[in-house]
Amino acid sequence: MAHPSQLGFQDAASPLMEELLHFHDHALMIVFLISTLVLYIIVAMVTAKFTDKLILDSQEIEIIWTVLPAIILILIALPSLRILYLMDEINDPHLTIKAMGHQWYWSYEYTDYEDLGFDSYMIPTQDLTPGQFRLLEADHRMVIPVDSPIRVLISAEDVLHSWAVPALGIKVDAVPGRLNQTTFIVNRPGVFYGQCSEICGANHSFMPIVIEAVPLEHFENWTSLMVEDA
């Protein structure tokens, strides 16, 4: 959960988000080293009291400033491609959920169950209880089991939406007439918040996404109750 004055990312709740955080730190360190080198060269050139007649025409310098950026780009590209393929990888999901975007709420359908689906609306500010978060709480949470591969099929009923949960490293567009999918594993119990991340109309800001990760036995009890109520 994000907090006021936070500068970094939220704590990772999935292996994918952990990889994204590692890649962020890796890229940031490269940017820091490049910035330091460039600043040193600028200071050295400005303060130096001598001139080199080969500074504007040197084969060695041209080789260095051609090869070095190429190596840096490779060091950034290889981890980036690895994460890109990890994001698209689907390995025998234990549970499939269809998330449908509407103006302005989400509906969820657990396709592995015969009659398990519900709409998820934001709880108005005046109905919040102490401890709940304004603009982030929903009347029905998407409940999933911990440590299980989850596949989410995402689409929209009317206009473009985007299903995004920062703590899980997920952001997938919901496009009318098209079915996108993503997979993830939540590695710890908890409640994780997201919001629609594509401007979709007047109430775009009022489409929260709430995922509750629980142990498997609790999830089975929840599904039994939901199916009985349906």
- What tens digit of pLDDT does each residue of 118-152 get? 999 999 999 899 988 999 999 999 999 998 999 99
Give the residues across from 180 on adjacent strands: 154
Contact (CB, 8 A) for 206 and 195: no
Across the range 96-125, mean pLDDT stands at 92
Contact (CB, 8 A) for 213 and 219: no
* DSSP secondary structure, 15-44, as one string: HHHHHHHHHHHHHHHHHHHHHHHHHHHHHH
**Region for residue 139 given its phi and psi (left: phi exceeds 0; alpha: psi -120 to 50; beta: otherwise):** alpha
Percent of the chain at pLDDT exceeding 90: 67
- pLDDT (0 to 100) of residue 105: 94
Count of Cβ atoms closer than 10 Å to residue 12 Cβ:
19
Closest C-alpha to 138, from 209, 229, 225, 212: 209
CATH ID of 93-227, from 2.40.170.20, 1.10.3210.10, 2.60.40.420, 3.10.28.10 = 2.60.40.420
Instruction: Report strand pairing: 150-156 vs 95-102.
Output: parallel
pLDDT, mean over the chain? 90
CATH ID of 13-49+57-86, from 3.90.1640.30, 1.10.287.90, 3.30.1330.10, 3.40.50.11890 = 1.10.287.90
Question: Is the predicted pLDDT of residue 199 greater than 80, yes or no?
Answer: yes
Confidence tier at 115 by pLDDT (50, 70, 90): confident
- pLDDT (0 to 100) of residue 52: 67
- pLDDT (0 to 100) of residue 174: 94
Q: What is the pLDDT of residues 43-90, one digit of tens each?
A: 988 887 777 666 667 778 888 889 999 999 999 999 999 998 888 777
pTM check: above 0.85: no
Q: Where are the domains of the chain?
A: 13-49+57-86, 93-227
Across the range 9-34, mean pLDDT stands at 92
Lowest-confidence segment of 39-43, 112-116, 155-159 by average pLDDT:
112-116
In degrees to the nearest 10, what's the CA dihedral of 85, 195, 202, 104?
A: 90
